[in-house]
Amino acid sequence: MPKLLTKELADLQVKVEETAHSYGLDFFKSCYEVLDYDEMNMVASYMGFPVRYPHWKWGMEYERLSKTHAHGLSRIYEMVINNNPCYAYLMESNTQVDQKLVMCHVTAHNDFFKNNLAFRHTNRRMIDDMANHATRIRRYMDWYGVEPVETFIDRVLSLDNCIDTHSDFIVRKSKTVVKDEESDTPKEDEILKIPSAREYMERYVNPDDFVESQKKKLSEKKAKQKHFPVEPEKDVVRFLMVHAPLLRWQRDVMDILWEEAQYFAPQAMTKIMNEGWASYWHSKLMTEKVMDSSEVIDFADRHSGVVAMQQGQLNPYRLGLELFRNIEERWNRGQFGSEWENCTSMAERRTWDKKLGLGRNKIFQVRKIYTDITFIDEFFTLEFCQKHGYFSYGYDKKRQEFLIESRDFIAVKQKLLASLTNLGQPSISVLDANYENRSEILLEHTYDGVDLDMQYAKETLKNVASIWTRPAHILTKQEDRIVMLSFDGQNFKEKIIDRAK
């Protein structure tokens, strides 16, 4: 069972939070619970919310975490939840220096959750809503059976990356004004009438009620043929939730999963910044105020483990931390603005120091209004890239190994930004929900230089067709050709589309 903080840890929490306040951090009230390693793995498998709905994937994740912990491949020191109050979990087996570092780290995360723009619209009572979601889903399982509900959840979860992560900030409106020539009202010469030899016979051959019935039929035909949606719809999950022929319980379950996906989206949008901010402050608070001199070696060991680079992957803790330190140094020394940008003397740039002391204010401003993609776009500079030795790499099919592709700054930055665009997921939108006037759904993949994984695309398209209850199609680009992948409920079909069309 989770345990409350001991008096020693409660006193440590007070000390850490008072110190953080003195540096200008502003955070929600923190509620800590102490867990053993098995309980921590359980909570982590539920992504920090042990009250979530029942599903097999939580058990699968628990097994993965338990095995990696048992074999010494990973260890979870803490978990923190974006909520008000902010809930955090401490590992019972942590040493005293671990608990100090974790509390400093959690406090900085808490500050980031409260103040960063991306989290402004998130649900601050999500832990309560998660419990309510679980109650509703369990009720549906009791009413309709576990297998139908769980199968439907599986289908929706395969689409949980096809949401509009910016919907809280951008109002995407479809065109609501229809031009006269595009109106559903049929023109007089479009109405099918019985020919009459004499004008005075017109009202007898084509009576008013017959003409009105023909107008109605033509209007309905035009309405069906009209493009829907008028503009591509980026939020595929929400579109299906609103327009697919779902049962009431299915629509409610889909709404639950969409809401939870929207809640977690800001954390994916700010992973580098959030972890960098927490690492920056845990190192500053520990080394300047919280840590005892006898704990220096242990802290250095833990901190180096957090920010160490690993082969084949980017460490967001390291990149975020170094960028925040670089920003603070640049604004302290006045290395920004037109004068700095126009300076071409490398010797002068190396010794540039106007002693402005604006670094602390700047990093607080950055913490508030940036997300990862804008953070990297603005502050990942040529000097920073060269100083830290960043490079891009790719897989060489001939040699069957990963090789360095480029150390060129532009190439490295573009590849880094591309990996952050749309959270690193393929961008899919609903192009037509009445494709070829057959009520079939047509999706479109916005090609960004990376091909779709066709095996994954097939399984996902199958789930879309199941939810839509009609055949589903997706347009994508494969080897310089526009390809349409289709699923009719039984079979897949690929068709090459002429580019000219």
* Angstrom distance (rounded) from CA 216 to CA 208: 12
Same domain (yes/no): 395, 319: yes
Residue 239: C-alpha distances to residues 163, 167, 426, 438 (Å): 9, 13, 17, 18
* Mean pLDDT for the chain overall: 88
3-state secondary structure at position 252: helix
Q: Are 290 and 133 in contact (CB under 8 A)?
A: no
Per-residue pLDDT band for 11 (boundaries 50, 70, 90) equals very high
Same domain (yes/no): 321, 412: yes
Structurally, how many domains does the chain consist of?
4
Could you tell me whether strands 401-406 and 86-91 are parallel, antiparallel, or unpaired per DSSP bridges?
A: unpaired
Same domain (yes/no): 67, 102: yes
* Angstrom distance (rounded) from CA 497 to CA 501: 7
Same domain (yes/no): 274, 357: no
pLDDT tens-digit profile of 330-356?
999 999 999 999 998 888 988 999 999
Same domain (yes/no): 194, 110: no
**Is a pLDDT exceeding 90 seen at residue 168?**
no
Q: Is residue 406 part of a domain?
A: yes
Which residue range forms the structural domain that includes residue 331?
Answer: 308-421
Per-residue pLDDT band for 397 (boundaries 50, 70, 90) equals confident
Q: Is residue 321 part of a domain?
A: yes
* Angstrom distance (rounded) from CA 274 to CA 271: 5
Same domain (yes/no): 426, 401: no
pLDDT tens-digit profile of 141-150?
999 999 999 9
Residue in this structure with the two tokens 């999950």, named with its chain if needed: 237
Q: Is residue 450 part of a domain?
A: yes
CB-based burial, 369-384: b 16+ in 10 Å, e otherwise: ebbbbbbbeebbbeeb
C-alpha closest to that of 52 among 161, 113, 129, 121: 129
Same domain (yes/no): 413, 429: no
Q: Is residue 416 part of a domain?
A: yes
At CA 100, angle to CA 70 and CA 17, rounded to 5?
135
Select the more confidently predicted residue: 100 or 198.
100
Q: Which residues contact 95 (CB under 8 A, 6 or more apart)?
A: 298
Q: Is residue 399 part of a domain?
A: yes
Q: Is 123 exposed, middle or buried (0-12, 13-18, 19+ CB in 10 A)?
A: middle
- Domain stop point among 303, 328, 359: 303
Q: Are 45 and 319 in contact (CB under 8 A)?
A: no
Same domain (yes/no): 344, 278: no
